[in-house]
């Protein structure tokens, strides 16, 4: 086990990519110790990606890329500006609300930071906000992407832990709301102390228009439900409601209704049993193409090709990490690492809350060194059996693990969001780090609440019958 873990750490420290480090350390361990035939390495790596839930990964990534080129990002920003831009610290509040909406399309923190984050940082800077404030709030709000559904880390966790991905998606909604409220309170405190004003005048008409668009979007699933109650099949009901909505959008020329429909299609479809996560991701891709090619007419063959190649590149990197982590995690199990860890933890404490504190500390450290997907793939087989002994619900544990790893993306030395925002804002990594540190406070408070109040996570999926 020392060769496996030590080889992995040494390779990472000298700058070898995470996936290559895991694969190389695994092959060396197999060759030197002969614990299994060499062909096992290839078989385990292939088995790691032979999973139906993983089909959702490329479609979620493609949907996020298509939404960017369809012009949806700008519309979401304009909608959020109308909704909360009149508050003190308006553009910072817009930053958070925009990320909440965009999270229903991208599913990753990096996509959020690089997508809508680019617009938000420029707008805040142009309105006189310190660049550090713009970077800090953008980094904090980017963590909402993998907490609100859909979420790529939840897909990977659900596959590894054999947990309902739909239950994980629903479990992320209330924690996401808690995080949003805490961030907005933090912005209000900064606005009061630093004298930030509003960034757009309060106009009842604009606010009413934005609220009206929310009601129109919310009416869609309600209309589908009522049509089903009248005796129509679900397919016919959805088709009729969608056609009426499209006709209304063309007639009234709503600013963001069609963009806001993306998370409704994804979340509502899975909630009401219309889609599996993979089917929901495919529906989001089709909807994105409709918006870009038909409704907004912003897509060209060139931009479609770029979105496709970006998706291929990102999917390949994610699946390569999953394959390498699969053989690495299997060898950790074979080498009795899970049993050794269990024995060590049980010797320390028999209290599940103390165990969760230890897990939080471990995950916060791991999150700033390892890619999120790799961390989940490696650590779930080790930590989840221990969590089960303590009686911790696997859905609750998945939320704790994901939020910890998202926070890990923000802090040095290797937090990926840190480097993305450093490049976007043209700041040094050191200045970016100092800008982000104050915004870790609401995230840590949210982590404490989610860890020690399981009902925040489990209430919604329990009420919907997704878990017992």
Is the pLDDT at 427 greater than 70, yes or no?
A: yes
- Give CA–CA dist 425/209, Å, rounded: 32
Between residues 344 and 413, which one has the greater pLDDT?
344
| pLDDT, average across residues 303-324 | 83
Evaluate whether 213 touches 79 at the Cβ level (below 8 Å).
yes
Q: What is the pLDDT of residues 39-69, one digit of tens each?
A: 777 777 777 777 766 777 788 778 777 877 7
Evaluate whether 116 touches 98 at the Cβ level (below 8 Å).
yes
What pLDDT does residue 395 have?
94
What is the pTM assigned to this prediction? 0.78
| pLDDT, average across residues 380-403 | 90
What pLDDT does residue 447 have?
93
Peptide bond between residue 150 and the one before it cis (omega within 30 degrees of 0): yes
Q: What is the pLDDT of residues 237-294, one digit of tens each?
A: 878 888 888 888 777 777 667 767 766 666 666 655 666 767 777 777 888 888 788 8
Interior CA angle at 46 toward 42 and 50, to 5°? Answer: 165
What pLDDT does residue 76 have?
72
Is the pLDDT at 415 greater than 70, yes or no?
A: no
Is the pLDDT at 187 greater than 60, yes or no?
A: yes
User: Mean pLDDT of all residues in the chain?
Assistant: 79
What pLDDT does residue 262 have?
67
What pLDDT does residue 397 have?
94
Evaluate whether 61 touches 315 at the Cβ level (below 8 Å).
yes
What pLDDT does residue 82 have?
76
| pLDDT, average across residues 431-452 | 89
Between residues 455 and 341, which one has the greater pLDDT?
455
- Give CA–CA dist 101/119, Å, rounded: 14
Long-range residue pairs from 296-300, CB within 8 A, at least 24 positions apart, any chain: 296/70, 296/71, 296/72, 296/258, 298/69, 298/70, 298/71, 299/66, 299/69, 299/70
CB atoms within 10 A of CB 52: 10
Q: What is the pLDDT of residues 116-153, one digit of tens each?
A: 666 677 777 777 788 888 888 888 888 887 888 777 78
Record the tokens describing residue 215, joined without a space: 């009601």
Is the pLDDT at 452 greater than 90, yes or no?
A: yes
What pLDDT does residue 349 have?
79
| pLDDT, average across residues 337-347 | 72
Using pLDDT thresholds of 50, 70 and 90, give the confidence band for residue 382.
confident
């Amino acid at each position: 086990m020392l060769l496996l873990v030590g080889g992995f750490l040494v390779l990472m420290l000298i700058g070898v990519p995470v996936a290559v480090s895991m694969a190389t350390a695994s092959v060396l361990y197999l060759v030197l110790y002969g614990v299994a035939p060499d062909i096992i390495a290839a078989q385990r790596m292939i088995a790691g990606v032979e999973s139906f839930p993983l089909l959702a990964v490329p479609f979620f990534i493609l949907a996020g890329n298509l939404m960017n080129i369809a012009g949806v990002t700008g519309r979401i920003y304009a909608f959020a500006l109308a909704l909360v831009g009149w508050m003190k610290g308006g553009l910072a509040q817009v930053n958070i609300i925009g990320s909440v909406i965009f999270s229903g399309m991208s599913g990753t923190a990096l996509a959020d930071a690089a997508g809508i984050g680019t617009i938000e940082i420029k707008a805040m800077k142009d309105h006189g906000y310190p660049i550090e404030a713009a970077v800090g709030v953008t980094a904090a709000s980017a963590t909402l992407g993998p907490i609100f559904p859909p979420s790529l880390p939840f897909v990977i966790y659900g596959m590894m832990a054999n947990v309902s991905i739909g239950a994980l998606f629903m479990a992320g909604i209330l924690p996401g709301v808690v995080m949003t409220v805490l961030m907005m309170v933090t912005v209000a405190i900064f606005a009061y102390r630093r004298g930030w004003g509003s960034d757009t005048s309060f106009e009842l008409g604009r606010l009413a228009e934005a609220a009206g668009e929310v009601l129109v979007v919310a009416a869609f699933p309600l209309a589908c439900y009522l049509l089903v109650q009248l005796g129509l099949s679900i397919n016919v009901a959805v088709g009729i409601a969608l056609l009426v909505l499209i006709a209304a959008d063309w007639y009234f020329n709503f600013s963001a209704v069609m963009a806001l429909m993306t998370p409704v299609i994804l979340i509502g479809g899975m909630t009401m049993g219309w889609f599996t996560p993979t089917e929901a991701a495919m529906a989001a891709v089709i909807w994105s193409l409709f918006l870009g090619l038909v409704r907004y007419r912003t897509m060209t063959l060139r931009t479609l090709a770029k979105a496709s190649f970006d998706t291929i590149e990102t999917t390949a990197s994610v699946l390569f990490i999953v394959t390498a982590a699969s053989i690495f995690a299997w060898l950790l199990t074979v080498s009795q690492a899970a049993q050794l860890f269990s024995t060590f933890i049980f010797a320390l404490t028999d209290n599940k809350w103390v165990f969760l504190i230890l897990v939080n500390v471990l995950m916060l450290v791991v999150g700033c060194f390892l890619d999120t997907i790799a961390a989940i793939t490696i650590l779930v087989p080790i930590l989840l059996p221990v969590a089960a002994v303590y009686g911790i619900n696997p859905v609750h544990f998945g939320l704790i693990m994901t939020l910890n790893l998202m926070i890990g993306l923000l802090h040095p030395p290797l937090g990926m969001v840190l480097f993305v925002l450093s490049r976007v804002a043209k700041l040094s990594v050191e200045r970016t780090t100092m800008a982000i540190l104050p915004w870790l406070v609401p995230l840590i408070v949210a982590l404490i609440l989610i860890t020690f109040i399981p009902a925040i996570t489990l209430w919604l999926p329990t009420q919907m019958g997704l878990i017992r």
